[in-house]
Amino acid sequence: MAKVLGQGLEALIKTYNTDIDVNISYPKIPIRKIVPNKNQPRNKFDATKMESLAKSIAEKGILQPLTVRKNDSNEFELIAGERRLRAAKKVGLLEVPVYIINISNESEMMELALIENIQRVDLNPMEEAEGYAILRGKYGFTQSKIAISVSKSRSEIANKLRLLRLPPQIQEGLKNKKVEYGHARALLGFRKSSIMLKLYTKIIKSNLNVRQTEELIKTVLGKTNTSKRLTKNYMTEEKKLHAYLNTKISIKNTSKEKGQIVIKFNDKQNLKDILKKIYE
């Protein structure tokens, strides 16, 4: 596909490398005959922006036609224009202008819907990630193909898809703008959900900005890596003590120079055996 992002969906459709046929006469069709796009990547709409759009449509009408395709039930399935359709319903319009596209390929339909949303109003990062995931998982798109389709770098697609690794609570927080994309990316430096959630709570409670969050993450990661590195140095000693005492041994640092040896026992007799070997 040619990189026409930002030139409007009509330009995009005209250069789309498929057999799509577009009716450029922009006919008007009844709103009641338009059915939702089941692959709509956007699921949250800013109330203030929706109100502004509704007011604009009430005053000037719909300047940019919705994009639809005719289905087997003689209805029109929405491909792009969810916000305009909702605003049109809000102000009581009975019909809207449309592009009617003859397209049967579901992946191309999803692609157009996703691109249209990126062109008009930036998707929430989580919604964007979910849209890419559908293209990848359901329709077999590679990250490279997604990148070409939406005129973004492959690394950007990969970073957005990584957001799906976040715990559900953080994903919801990103959708609801409790945290920003930068916060979420920083949290992905950890693998454990428990650590992510603990830091997420601190970010919200302390109202940390992205830079402060990144510094916090660096500090925590530094401590974690140091702890792992110091502990690893004692693996040989742990194995020797385990072989001698026949029980599980753990040697850990509590500071740079200090630490502790933890000797585990299963019962009183096991403890006596261990102590006997120590006293020998």
DSSP string, the chain: ----TTS-HHHHHHT-SS--EEETT--EEEGGGEE--TT-S-----HHHHHHHHHHHHHH--SS-EEEEE-TTS-EEEEE-HHHHHHHHHTT-SEEEEEEEE---HHHHHHHHHHHHHHHSPPPHHHHHHHHHHHHHTT---HHHHHHHTT--HHHHHHHHHGGGS-HHHHHHHHTTSS-HHHHHHHTT---HHHHHHHHHHHHHHT--HHHHHHHHHHHHHHHHHHHHHHHTTHHHHHHHHHHHSS-EEEEESSSS-EEEEE--SSHHHHHHHHHHHH-
Catalytic residue among 82, 111, 127, 128: 82
CB 183 within 8 A of CB 213: yes
| 139 to 4, 145, 148: CA distances (angstroms) | 22, 11, 15
Q: Is-catalytic flag, 75?
A: no
Residues labelled catalytic:
82
